[in-house]
Structure 1
Amino acid sequence: MFKKILIANRGEIACRVIKTARKMGIATVAVYSDADADAVHVEMADEAVHIGPPPANQSYLIADRIIAACKETGAEAVHPGYGFLSENAGFCEKLEAEGIIFIGPKVKAIEAMGDKITSKKIAADAGVSTVPGFMGLIENAEHAAEIASQIGYPVMIKASAGGGGKGMRIAWNEAEAREGFERSKSEAASSFGDDRIFVEKFVEEPRHIEIQVLADAHGTCIHLGERECSIQRRNQKVVEEAPSPFLDPETRAAMGAQAVALAKAVDYQSAGTVEFIVDRNRNFYFLEMNTRLQVEHPVTELITGIDLVEQMIRIASGEKLAFGQDGVELNGWAVESRIYAEDPVRNFLPSIGRLTRYRPPAEGRFGDVVVRNDTGVTEGSEISMFYDPMIAKLCTWAPDRLTAIEAMSEALDGFVIDGIEHNIPFLTALMSHPRWREGRLSTGFIAEEFPDGFTPREPGVEERHVLSAVALAVELLRRDRLDRLTGRLAPHSGELKRDWSVRLNDEYVKASVVEGMISIPLEMDVSIDGAKPITVASSWRPGDAVWEGTVDGRTVHVQVRPVLNGVQLAWQGVSAKARVMLPRIAELDRLMPVREAPDTSKLLLCPMPGLVVSVAVSDGQEVKAGETLAVVEAMKMENVLRAERDCTVMKVNARPGDSLAVDAVIMEFD
């Protein structure tokens, strides 16, 4: 077994590998760029080596610097995590030449499966079902449009060396095929250094289901069941679960057998994933094979009890698998939510900055539920524009699917992040979505259910009652604390009355204290909108980020953030500003004028911090609605900004190469 390994990665996956290595008694070496000098993975590792500037192509993607770090520290092997050099055959060859072990498959498998065109040919030869498409070299946008027309729209345009949703576009017509080719080619070159593109038929109403395989160097190759990854946005997975609510035992066995056959065809040795597209009739088609550890591997670990990182290390050291296919049992249900630094209200645009508050839910077993949080950040960490926007992977396990979903909903409600925008409000709302809970999924789920983007729901009757009760409890404790701090002991100065008005956003709710004392822990009976009294109980104290307690016997976790003259409450995908007032003050509050937002209709504002890749127009140019105005890159993704109406460009303020902040004015219109 290895005595010391180097992790050629950063963030949560580097931390994840370090945890298993530590458990196995193996020393670890971290590598880091200038931007990651204070990162969590650097602190966790036994040693750390600096490898260059923030851009990945000047640090984490330079194989020679990784190898130099191995030599400097005496690391015997390298675990690549995912992304970066994890599927780079050239890197593996360099390691082998230096006598350093790569904790992953051999070069042959990486080369064969890393090229999506070659992999589909091998899959077909191995008897694996494949999607119709064109596997040859596509010369230009004209050629791409011609091929797409022959295959029949819709088509998927994909980078041959791609992964993680980058370099992928769906085209529904010729114009989209041309532009999709150009954007995919550009993203592929930027992300992978390989701009080859291929086109295949896009399966409508598809489900994305993948099989985890594990193979050693002694002839044993098995699968560990499936993961469903159908909840995606822009081909980027958002929520995963294991097993799939869609597969029956026969389909699972057939998919597992084909995945194992493909792995054997390339003499696979390590953990790997064979991804399939599955249609409504459970017909499945090979999509690609990822010759590395998947981001969503924790859900497989939770339902099998098998540590995949440990198995990768043992296989790389030459050990045999200690179990066969008969030794794999799928137990319970696991769900993973990817916590991203992106603003769901602004079409999920990237967000960067410092985590001024980072309070994840407690990990561990709680009765029949397990909570796990894989992360690489802590309070005070910086979310950089140079890397992937993922902050953490929150996972829950339970004996059944609905219990796991309920546990996830509760854990998300208690996950506090401030300083940047993030997608927790969206994930929380998703957990209560009827279609998700019923398991009626497809890769188009988000586009279909949120066609106009995500907007936090306005409180319904249940949410209004819960949030009003929590707001009242928070305000009464705040006032009581203020009275005590200023020396005004009971009886109070007249402010702590029985009857109140709670303003939730723009709605006024009557709230009355029926019975109870204002103290910690708090327990009181309140009536909302004249309804039957309900009991509110909590040990919450002013300043706590999460109000944890019960409302009418139901356990709730409500996030509480102070705002001007009130608090911002978030629960179950609902966000509301709450102000608690005496009834007379509420009457006057209704008369206050509403401030109008400034008119920005004649400006193109940068929607996220990013780098201007290109500007497609010039001063004085007339443009039509839908035409491309500029392309901005952020967190390794290119975002096309289009004209919302016919207009004339008066002034262009940004140029290619400019680094812009959120809401920077890119151009002005007439």
Structure 2
Amino acid sequence: MFKKILIANRGEIAARIHRTAHRMGITTVAVYSDADKYSRHVQVCDEAVHIGASPPKESYLVIDKIIAACKQTGAEAVHPGYGFLSERSNFCQALAENGITFIGPETDVIKLMGDKILANRKASEAGVPTVPGYWDTIPDADKAAEIAAGIGYPVMLKAAAGGGGKGIRIARDEAELRDAFRLASSEALSAFGDGRVFIEKFIVNPRHIEIQVLGDRFGNVLYLGERECSIQRRHQKVIEEAPSPIVDEALRREMGERSVGLCKAVGYSSAGTIEFIMDQQRNYYFLEMNTRLQVEHSVTEFCTGLDLVEWMIRIAAGEELSIRQENVQMSGWAVEARIYAEDPNRRFMPSIGRLVRYRTPEEGPQVRVDNGVYEGGEISMFYDPMIAKVTTWDRDRPSAVGLMRRALDEFYIKGVQHNIAFLTALMANPRFLEGRLSTDFIADEYPEGFSPAPLLEKDVNAIIAAAFLMYVRHIYRSSRVSAQMPGYQRKFSRDWEASVNGKSYPITLESLAEGGAEEGFEIMIEDSLIAIRSDWQVGDHVLRCEVNAVPQRFKVEPSGLGFKLFHLGAEVEVVIHRKSVADLIKLMPARKPKDMSKYLVSPMPGLLRSISAEVGDKVEPGVELAVIEAMKMENILRSARTGRITKVHAKAGDTLAVGQIIVEFE
């Protein structure tokens, strides 16, 4: 067994690999860029080596620097995690030439299956169903248009060396295809150093199902069940679960055995994933093979009890699998949610900045949090926007989903925008709960971007009760402040009013708990009697309570004159006043927002790749004005109005902040 391994990655996956290696008694070496000098993975690993500037192409993607770090520290092997160099055959080859073990499959297998064109050909030869497509290099947009016309729209363009959702675009007509070819090629070149793309038929409303495989160097290969990864946005997975709601035991065996057959045909060893797309009639087609660990491996680990990182290390060290297919059992249900630094209320625009507050749910046998950040750390524009992953496990799907809702309601992040409210709303979406999924789920359910579903009356009442409890706790704390005016006594009224996102609700205090207001009370909200009990203290960011004897969780923070509560995917502003004060406040005039309609502003932080606008240009709606790169993705900004450009405020190469003005119209 290895004594020391280097982890050629960053963030949560580097910290996760260290956790297993540490348990196995293996010393770990972290590598880090300028931006990651104070990152969590640097802190938790036993040693750390600086490898360059913040951009990945100057640090995490430089093979010579990784090898130099291995030699400097005496690391015998390298675990690549996922992304970066994890599927680069030249990296694997370079390690071998320097006597360093790659914790993953053999070089020729990575090269074969990492080329999506060759991989599709190999899958077809091995008897795995494949999607109709053109499996060769496409030189330009004209050739792409010719091929797409032959296959029939809609089509999907994909990076030949791709993975992780990068370099993928869908085109429904020739105009879209030409834009898609340019962007997919550019993203592929930027992310993988290889701008080749290929085209395949786009399956409408497909599900994304993947089979986890595990092979050793003695010819043994297992399949470890499937994962449902259909909840995606821009081809990036958001929610994953194991098993899949649509796969029964017979289909699982069929897909698993075909996956094993493909692995044996190419001589695969280590952990890997065969990805499929499945239509609504349960016909499935080969999508790609990932010759590495997957982000969502935690759901498989929960359901099988196997540590995939441990087995990757053991296989790389020359050990044979000690388990056989008949020993692999799927138990219970697991769900994973990816927490991203992005703003769901602004069409999921990326967010960067400092984590001013960062509190995770309490971990245990059924709740796992993989994170590579800490309170006070930075979310950088140079890397993927994932902050953490939460995985929950329970006996069945409804229980695992319910546990996930509670865990997300306890996750508190302040300083950057994030998608926790969106994830919580997904967990309560009726279509999701029924298991009617597809990769178009988010686009179908939230066509205009995310907006939480209206809360039920009981949920609104619970939020009001929680806000009232916090208000009362503040009053009681201030009543105990020393050096108050002699004889002053704060009066506690019976009649109150709550303003919830501008709507008024009358509150009547009915009774206090036996321990007084510091334990709980009963209030009447309109015609509903609500009893709330909690040990919440002023300053806590998570309120754990019972509302009418039902456990509830709320993320809370002060906001102006009231409180902001986050619950079930909703963000609610609540202000509590005595009834007489509330009547006076209603007479105050509303403040109007500033008119920004004559500006094109940056919807995200990022790099301005190009700008097409010039002073004096007259533009129509839909005309491309700029391209912004953020979190490795390129985004086209188009004109939303007809008008003439009077000023250009930014130039190509500028780093933009959210809301920064790019173009001004007359």
Q: Normalised by the shorter chain, which TM-score bucket?
A: over 0.9
Indicate yes or no: 2:567 matched with 1:571. yes
**Corresponding residue number in structure 2 for 1:478:** 474
CA distance in 2, matches of 1:332, 1:351: 35
Amino acid paired to 2:635: N
Q: Is 2:296 aligned against 1:299?
A: no
Moved more, 250-259 or 69-78: 250-259
Partner of 1:377: 373
- Secondary structure at the counterpart of residue 257 of structure 1: helix
Aligned residue number for residue 339 of structure 1: 339
Specify the code of the residue in structure 2 equivalent to 1:509: Y
Tell me what 1:460 maps to: 456
Q: Does 1:414 align with 2:410?
A: yes
Bigger mean CA offset, 408-417 vs 150-159: 150-159
Greater Cα shift, 460-469 or 332-341: 460-469
In the superposition, relative to structure 1, how do residues 593 and 101 fare at CA in structure 2: closer, same or farther (>3 Å)? same
Q: What is the one-letter code of the residue matched to 1:536?
A: I
Q: CA deviation at 1:25?
A: 0.4
- The correspondence for 1:528, drawn from 525, 528, 549, is 525
Match status 1:6 vs 2:12 = no
Residue in structure 2 matched with residue 390 of structure 1 by the alignment? 386
Specify the alignment match of 1:643 in structure 2.
639
Q: Is 1:663 aligned with 2:659?
A: yes
The 2-side partners of 1:182 and 1:149 are apart by 17
- CA shift, 1:258, in A, is 1.2
Asked if 1:98 corresponds to 2:98, the answer is yes
Distance 2:424 2:550 in 1: 17
Deviations 1:539-593 (Å, cap 9, x if unpaired)? Answer: 0001000110111111111111111111101100111111000111111222211
User: In the aligned structure 2, how far is the partner of 1:232 from the partner of 1:66?
Assistant: 32
**1:61 Cα deviation after fit:** 0.2
- 1:457, distance to aligned residue in structure 2 (A): 4.2
Closer, same or farther: CA 593–486 of 1 in aligned 2, 3 Å: farther
Question: Does residue 508 of structure 1 match 2:507?
Answer: no
Amino acid across the alignment from 2:549: G
Which residue in the other structure is 1:435 paired with?
Answer: 431
Which AA in structure 2 matches 1:581? H
Mapping 1:223-262, distance limit 5 Å: 223-262=223-262
Shift of 1:525: 1.0
- What is the alpha-carbon distance in structure 2 between the residues aligned to residue 459 and residue 120 of structure 1? 46
Residue 37 of structure 2: aligned partner: 37
Q: Determine what percentage of the aligned residue pairs are the same residue.
A: 54
Instruction: Return the offset for 1:487.
Output: 5.6
Specify the SS of the correspondent of 1:230: strand
CA contact (8 A) 1:476 1:496 kept: no
Q: 1:344: how far off?
A: 0.6
Counterpart pick for 2:542 among 538, 541, 546 = 546
Aligned twin of 1:195: 195
**Any conservation in 2 of the 1:342–1:389 contact (CA below 8 Å)?**
yes
Which secondary structure does the structure 2 equivalent of 1:246 belong to? Answer: coil
CA distance in 1, matches of 2:615, 2:89: 47
> Residue 458 of structure 1 contacts residue 576 of structure 1 at CA under 8 Å; is this kept in 2?
no
Shift of 1:489: 11
Contact 2:393 2:400 in 1 (8 A): yes
In 2, the alpha carbon distance for the partners of 1:521 and 1:228 equals: 45
Selected match of 1:561 from 540, 547, 557: 557
Separation in 1 of the partners of 2:517 and 2:523? 16
What RMSD in Å do the two structures reach over aligned CA positions?
A: 1.3
| Cα separation, 1, equivalents of 2:507 and 2:254 | 58
Q: Please give the alpha-carbon distance, in whole angstroms, between the structure 2 residues aligned to 1:647 and 1:141.
A: 30
**Secondary structure of 2:160's aligned partner:** strand
Displacement after TM superposition at 1:493 (Å): 3.4
Q: Is the 8 A contact 2:472 2:517 kept in 1?
A: no
1:120 aligned partner: 120
Residue of structure 2 in register with 1:355 after alignment: 355
Q: How far 1:495 sits from its partner (Å)?
A: 3.8
Question: Secondary structure in 2 aligned to 1:427?
Answer: helix
Q: Deviations over 1:374-427 (max 9, x none)?
A: 011111111000001000000000000000000000000000000000000100
2 CA distance for matches of 1:548 and 1:640? 43
1:659 & 1:132 partners in 2: Cα distance?
A: 41
Distance (whole Å) between structure 2 residues aligned to residue 45 and residue 559 of structure 1 = 32
Structure 2 letter corresponding to 1:572: L
- Give the equivalent residue in structure 2 for 1:18: 18
For residues 59-138 of structure 1, what are the structure 2 equivalents within 5 Å? 59-138=59-138
The Cα shift of 1:163 comes to 1.1
Give secondary structure in 2 for the equivalent of 1:485: coil
- d(CA) in 1 for partners of 2:518 and 2:389? 33
- SS of structure 2 residue aligned to 1:364: coil
Are the counterparts in 2 of residues 210 and 275 from structure 1 also a CA contact under 8 Å? yes
Q: TM-score, normalised by structure 1?
A: 0.98
CA 1:491–1:396: 2 relative to 1, 3 Å: farther
Aligned to 2:212: 212
The alpha-carbon deviation at position 669 of structure 1 amounts to 1.1
1:49-101 Cα deviation digits (max 9, x unpaired)? 00000000000000000000000000000000000000000011110001100
| Equivalent residue letter for 2:234 | R
Tell me how far apart the structure 1 counterparts of residues 17 and 6 of structure 2 sit (CA, whole Å).
Answer: 10
Deviation of 1:250 (Å) = 1.5
TM-score (norm 2): 0.98
After superposition, give the CA deviation of every residue in 1:31-60 in whole Å (9 maximum; x if it has no partner).
Answer: 001111111111111111000000000000
Counterpart of 1:542, as a letter, is V
Among 440, 443, 448, the residue aligned to 1:444: 440
Letter in 1 for 2:465: A
Is residue 2:279 matched to residue 1:279? yes
Higher mean C-alpha displacement, 174-183 vs 484-493: 484-493
Q: Distance in 2 between matches of 1:498 and 1:534?
A: 15
Deviations 1:261-297 (A, max 9, x none): 1111110010000000001111000000000000000
Task: Give the whole-Å Cα distance in 2 for the aligned partners of 1:117 and 1:591.
Answer: 67
Query: Contact between 1:499 and 1:582, CA under 8 Å: does it hold in 2?
Result: yes
The question of whether the paired residues in 2 share the 8 Å contact of 1:457 and 1:575 is answered with: no
- Residue identity opposite 2:159 in structure 1: A
For residues 331 and 162 of structure 2, the distance between their equivalents in structure 1, rounded to whole angstroms, comes to: 33
Does the aligned pair in 2 maintain the 1:520–1:541 contact within 8 Å? no
Counting only pairs closer than 5 Å after superposition, residues 605-644 of structure 1 correspond to structure 2 as: 605-644=601-640
Q: Aligned equivalents of 1:40 and 1:413: distance in 2?
A: 24
CA distance in 1, matches of 2:464, 2:517: 19
Matched, 1:144 2:144: yes
Contact 2:212–2:224 (8 Å) recurs in 1? yes
Does structure 2 retain, via aligned residues, the 8 Å contact 1:502–1:509?
A: yes
Q: Name the SS for the 2:480 alignment partner.
A: helix
1:456 Cα deviation after fit: 3.4
Other-structure match for 2:533: 537
**Is residue 213–residue 221 contact of structure 2 (8 Å, CA) maintained in 1?**
yes
For 1:228, the aligned partner's letter is E
